[in-house]
Structure 1
Amino acid sequence: MPNWLKHWSRRRRGQPWGFVAFRAACRDDEARWEEFKLEVQRIINIQFERVSKPESKPPDFEEARENFEIRWIEDDTTISLNADAFRSKYAELRPNLPSGLSQELFICATPESVDSVLAVKTSNRPTADSAWWRSNAPFLVAVTADSDPGLEEGHEERSWFQPAFKVAIESMVEELWWLIDSDMMPLRRVTRYTKGHGELGVAGLNDSDGLEDIWWTIAPSPERLQKRRQLRRT
């Protein structure tokens, strides 16, 4: 049974779960926006299909799948392309959200993320067999609900915190949701090996070349593991 399903069954059974996501792109192109949402949903569905075998579906699988949602906030076109503006709106919505949607981060569909989803040729779009850690994978922008890492100046973990970062859509169900919802670790540790993303007007606290451009999981990427092996040999 995958970790996300174990967590949902234990903590959120019978409840909606997923993410709140803001529309921050395609405000003058409704057809492109609808195409984008359909493709995002198709990629989300891939993550359920990986564990959906008719002969051996895990307990609670169908109920969990039916309760998952990306709750798009589309009607407020006055919000500028700015992380703090979206944070303010999210803070207004959050008290009325189901607990499985009230996360310490939310999602934004920005112009760059829409391009990452739709610019790929149809034949090259993600499937259940697509490899992780692809640099050109379609992504959305995750934004922390609080821009403060909660650490004093000079703390070694302060630079791990990224107030906005790219997240691979293919990992949002399988990795991101349950890690955030479980409170397994603070956000700064979730984003430790990931670059920040500045499209919403926020700067990453540490954007060195050694960090990953897109978040997939907290596990090290194959490239990072290879570098570790090389260092051990020297």
Structure 2
Amino acid sequence: MRNSLQKVLGDDDMRKLTLYVRQNAREWEDKKLNDHGGFIAFRTASYNEEEKWAAFKGRVQRILNSAFDHVVEQHRGHEYEQVAEARRLFELHWIEDGELDGVTADTLREHFTQLKKEEADTAMGIY
């Protein structure tokens, strides 16, 4: 993953990113978003094809887990606590609502903005 980022960013921007991460790592560790984390994903298609949708979600989850699985493989199958924690926090929270079938990106932005307003006082903390 690092090599891919470096190809896209270039050496100078990669150094800036590394410095930024190092400077903020302690704050992020302390914050941990109240032990919640992850990303929101919207289902906008395949509402009449549950089997196809389930297969898609499975593929997405395998892709997301591949980096963590690689680290575990590199450590002879042992998943360290930090890796397990990162895997847990790197979760997709799917929003599945038939009314979102085929909507535009602008509609999703509006929906996300509304979610942020509704969740402002909860532990989830959507950013």
Return the TM-score normalized by structure 2.
Answer: 0.61
Q: Alignment partner of 2:71: what SS?
A: coil
Letter matched to residue 73 of structure 1: I
1:26 Cα deviation from its structure 2 partner: 0.7
Residue 23 (1) aligns with residue 52 (2): no
1:9 Cα deviation from its structure 2 partner: 2.9
**1:84 maps to which residue?**
106
1:93–1:13 distance in 2 versus 1, CA, 3 Å: closer
Deviations 1:80-126 (A, max 9, x none): 42111111111121231623xx23xxxxxxxxxxxxxxxxxxxxxxx
Q: How does 1:196-215 map to 2 (within 5 A)?
A: none
Residue 40 (1) aligns with residue 60 (2): yes
Q: How does 1:162-181 map to 2 (within 5 A)?
A: none
Moved over 6 A (4+): none
Structure 2, unaligned runs of 5 or more: 3-17
More helix by share: 2
Structure 1, unaligned runs of 5 or more: 104-234
- Structure 1 distance, partners of 2:33, 2:107, is 32
Q: How does 1:60-99 map to 2 (within 5 A)?
A: 60-75=82-97, 77-79=98-100, 80-95=102-117, 96=119, 98-99=124-125
Q: Percent identity?
A: 32
Letter matched to residue 74 of structure 1: E
* Aligned mate of 2:71, from 51, 55, 71: 51
Deviations 1:3-47 (A, max 9, x none): 78x845354175121210100111111110000001100111101
Letter matched to residue 50 of structure 1: H
User: Does structure 2 conserve the Cα–Cα contact (< 8 Å) formed by 1:16 and 1:68?
Assistant: no
The size of the alignment, in residue pairs, is: 98
- Structure 2 distance, partners of 1:31, 1:11, is 38
Return the TM-score normalized by structure 1.
Answer: 0.36
1:59 Cα deviation from its structure 2 partner: 5.5
User: Does structure 2 conserve the Cα–Cα contact (< 8 Å) formed by 1:26 and 1:33?
Assistant: yes
1:61–1:10 distance in 2 versus 1, CA, 3 Å: farther
Q: Alignment partner of 2:91: what SS?
A: strand
User: Does structure 2 conserve the Cα–Cα contact (< 8 Å) formed by 1:13 and 1:64?
Assistant: no
More strand by share: 1
